[in-house]
Structure formats: C-alpha cells, structure tokens
Amino acid sequence: MNKSKPKHSAHGLVLGIFLPWIVWWGMAEIPNLVWAGEETSVEAVRKAFEQGQYPKVIELAEPLLKKGNASAPQVQQWYVLALAHTSKTSEALDAYERLVQDNGREDEVLLKQMAIASILPLRADMREQMRGAAYTALREMEAIEAMPYLEEGLGDQSGMIRALVTEGMGHVAAGRQSKRFRDALKDGAALVRANVLEGMAESGDKKMIPIITPFLTDDQLIVQISAAKALLGLGQSQYWERLERGVRSEDGYERGASIRALGDLGDPRAVAILEQTIKDSQPSIRAAAVSALGKLQTPSALKAVKGAMFDHIPAVRSVAAFSLGNFPPSDVLPVLTSGLQDPNLGVQTAAVASLLRIGASFTTVAETVERLMQDQNPAARSGVAKALGHGTSQESMVMLKLLIQDPTPRPRITAARSLGRIGHRNSLPILKRTLRDTDEAVRVTAAAAIVRILEKPVGT
C-alpha cells in the first residue's frame, strides 16, 4: 500500500525557507524599536519638565536612569532639578553627585540651577519667616536668573515680604527694568513704594523724574523722604530743603529716614546738620546720624564718629565701630583696636568687622574672634560670623567653616551667607553639605551662597 506523502502548502514552504531570514531581520530591528521607545520616554520627561510637572518628571525619569541608557545625562539633569523643585534637596544632591562622578568634574551650570531650584518651594510656605528666608536668599544671589522669581514675590500677601523683594530688585538693573517693579508704586505698603522710588533713582535715568515727583506729597512721610532723596540723586537740588526739614521733624520715622538719606547721598553739606543730630536724646536717631556721618568720610565726620565710641548706649557704639571701617586705616586702627575690649559683645563684633574691612592682620582680632565663637549666646556667634564676612584671609574662611557647623541655626545661616560673600570655589564642598541641613533657612542660605560663588570669575 502506497504511503501518502505529507502535503506542504506553498505558504508553509515559503515560511520554512524564509523564516531564518525573517527572524534575523526582526532581531536586527529590535534595538531600533527599543531606541524608539527610549526616545519616546525621554521626550515625555522633557515635556513634563518644561510644563513644570516635577513629580511626573521624577516618576518617568527613574526607570530610564536605572537602565543607564544613552540619554541618561540629559534625563539626569532634569531629574536633579525636578527633585530640587519638589523640596527633595538631599536626594537632588545625591543625583547630582552621581552625575559628577560619571563625568569626572563639577557641572557648575547644573549646580547653580539646582541651588536656585531648591530655594523656590519655600516661597509658598505658610510661615512668613520662611518665605522671607527664601526671598532673602534670592535677593542675595545678585544673579539675573533670580529676578523672575523675586518678581513673583511682589504678589506676596505680606507687605514686609514685598518690601524685601523691592529692595533687592531695586539694586539690580534687570529688577529696576521690570514693569511689575514699577507698578509696585501703587502698593499699599509705604515701605514698598519707598523702595521702588529709591530703586528708580539708582538707574540714573532722568526720565524717572516726572514719575517720582508726585510722591513728594504721598500720605506717608517715609515715602515723601524717599521721593526727595531719589530726586536729589537725579540732580534735582531744589529738594534738599525737604530733607533738612525732615531732620528737624518731631516724627521719629521721618527724622531717621531723612538722616539716612543725607548719608546715602554723600553730600558734604550734610555734615553740619548731622553733627547736631548726633547729640539727639533718642539713641536710634544718634545711631542713624553716626552711620550717615560714616558714609560722608570727611575729617569732621571722623571726629564725630570717634566721639560716638564713648556713647553710653551700646547700640550707638556698635554703629560707630562699624562706621569707622569707612575711614583710612591709619586714622582708625587705634580706636578700633580698643573697641575689641568694649564690655558689649556687639561693639566687639563691629570692631572685628571694621578691622577686617581696613585690612588689619587677622592676628589683631584672633583672640576676640575665638572668644565670641565660644560664647554661649547664639547671637554672639552669629555676630562674629557676620563680621568674618568682611575679611579675606584664609583664617576667616577657616573660622566660617567651623561656624557653619554650629549646633544652632542662626550662626549657621550667617556663616553660610558670609562664605557666599567672601568664599571661593574651594568653599563649595562644605556649602553643598549644608544643603542637607535640617533647618530650611540654613539650606536656602547655603544655596544662595553657592550661586554667589559660581557667579564669580574662576580663580577669584
């Protein structure tokens, strides 16, 4: 009996012949398909980041980073910034350090962006003090990148926060050019309006004169004084009489504001007026007059400020000690050195600051600095941290790096701020560690210090 032969369809024959080629071709395409999938995922991360959906960025980025794909560096950067934007500063720093380790070098652009991003969430804090810490940090950066975020603070419900913001914006050209900054002249808080007026004067733009002039009749005296000061700064000498009248006012706020304005303007005509004011019965007025005289830097002003070192009120002596730092070293070194022995810690601290400002050897202040650093009062330790921010020596840096590890937040905040002011790139490691501090205000101050250092030219 004949056995029937198995039947093969044409389809089966073709499949049998070409299956190996189909399999090979398909396998060859798999990497391309995977790559296309990665491209889609990376694009999703990018879109989420650009839309400010930072939790989604973290969710989408983590699987990609675990794979270690070719797009990892770009995804890592978004991931670092997303963590910082969501108040996960410590995790952001971990991710940043992994990226640095992979690249073998610091990424200053990313570090700067991360530092700024770590500050931003605190602006929405319910506590005014914490919002103030965030906006203070942004103001201290003196970086163009901070301006849009400072500008948003003009909408804060607190007048004190808005005043802090306008003061910061007024010192930076990009801030003064902001429409919202100028619109703040309509703000209900007098100090906000005053800050905007003074910021306008800093621009030196005489086109501001007709905008400023109506505020000479503002219903708040402090705004009137700021308007007169601004106009004088723009060359409108006829408003000098307004400040003279303000100095004679019975209103303490008006007197103080007028005295400070005279000092800021730097006009020698103010010396005779201020020499009388320095004898005022109110300590706050005497202190304002001493500070103003210190800015004028004339021989007669120096004599008056030296005399204030013997005032019976410590706060006045403190202002005098700090103001002496504006004068030539040879004229003030003996009196400042004696100030280190003042019974008041605030006066000692101010003397340290001025001695460092005039370039005195660190050995001159070393004993006082060490004593203040060991004082049980956190205010004393914070004060010396601020004073050290006026030095430039390696010894000042070493002391600040010790104070940034103080057991209480206040000295740590001040030390971080001072390091940002005088530190160099070799201060970045300790400031980065401070981004992990348990205190929010310390962290944002350290972030601002990092930005300030990165704003400096390399090698300075």
Query: For 7-59, what is each residue's pLDDT tens digit?
Result: 444 444 333 434 343 333 343 443 433 434 445 688 999 999 999 999 999 99
**pLDDT value of position 7:** 46
Rounded percentage of the chain residues whose pLDDT exceeds 90: 85
Q: If DSSP codes are grouped into helix, strand and coil, which group holds residue 189?
A: coil
Q: If DSSP codes are grouped into helix, strand and coil, which group holds residue 35?
A: helix
C-alpha to C-alpha distance for 356 and 365, rounded to whole angstroms: 8
**pLDDT value of position 406:** 98
Q: If DSSP codes are grouped into helix, strand and coil, which group holds residue 86?
A: coil
C-alpha to C-alpha distance for 303 and 286, rounded to whole angstroms: 15
Task: Give which of 317, 264, 258 is closest to 287, Cα–Cα.
Answer: 317
C-alpha to C-alpha distance for 241 and 228, rounded to whole angstroms: 9
Domain boundaries, the chain: 32-103, 142-265
- Can you spell out the DSSP letters for 113-171? HHHHHHHGGGGG-S-HHHHHHHHHHHHHH--GGGHHHHHHGGG-S-HHHHHHHHHHHHT
Q: If DSSP codes are grouped into helix, strand and coil, which group holds residue 328?
A: coil
Q: Which residue has the higher pLDDT, 66 or 223?
A: 223
C-alpha to C-alpha distance for 187 and 191, rounded to whole angstroms: 9
**pLDDT value of position 460:** 62
Average pLDDT, the chain: 91
Task: Give which of 291, 198, 313 is closest to 305, Cα–Cα.
Answer: 291
**pLDDT value of position 69:** 59
pLDDT tens, position by position, 162-218: 999 999 999 999 999 999 999 999 999 999 999 999 999 999 999 999 999 999 999
Burial class (CB in 10 A: 0-12, 13-18, 19+), 458: exposed
Contact 325, 354 (CB under 8 A): yes
**pLDDT value of position 70:** 52
Q: If DSSP codes are grouped into helix, strand and coil, which group holds residue 88?
A: coil
Task: Please say if the pLDDT value at position 242 is more than 90.
Answer: yes
pLDDT band at residue 67 using 50, 70 and 90 as cut-offs: confident
Burial class (CB in 10 A: 0-12, 13-18, 19+), 421: middle
Q: Which of 28-32, 225-229, 283-287, 387-391 has the lowest mean pLDDT?
A: 28-32
163-197 burial, b for 16+ CB within 10 Å, e for fewer?
Answer: bbbbbbbbebebbbebebbeebbebebbbbbbbbb
pLDDT tens, position by position, 425-455: 999 999 999 999 999 999 999 999 999 999 9
- Can you spell out the DSSP letters for 272-305? HHHHHHTT-SSHHHHHHHHHHHHHH--HHHHHHH
pLDDT tens, position by position, 371-403: 999 999 999 999 999 999 999 999 999 999 999
Provide CATH code, domain 142-265: 1.25.10.10
**pLDDT value of position 20:** 41
Neighbours of 52 (CB within 10 A): 10
pLDDT tens, position by position, 133-149: 999 999 998 788 899 99
Average pLDDT over residues 86-107: 94
Task: Please say if the pLDDT value at position 228 is more than 50.
Answer: yes
C-alpha to C-alpha distance for 323 and 328, rounded to whole angstroms: 11
* Residue matched to tokens 């006009």: 267
CA 381 to chain centre: 21
Contacts of 109 (CB under 8 A, 6+ apart): none
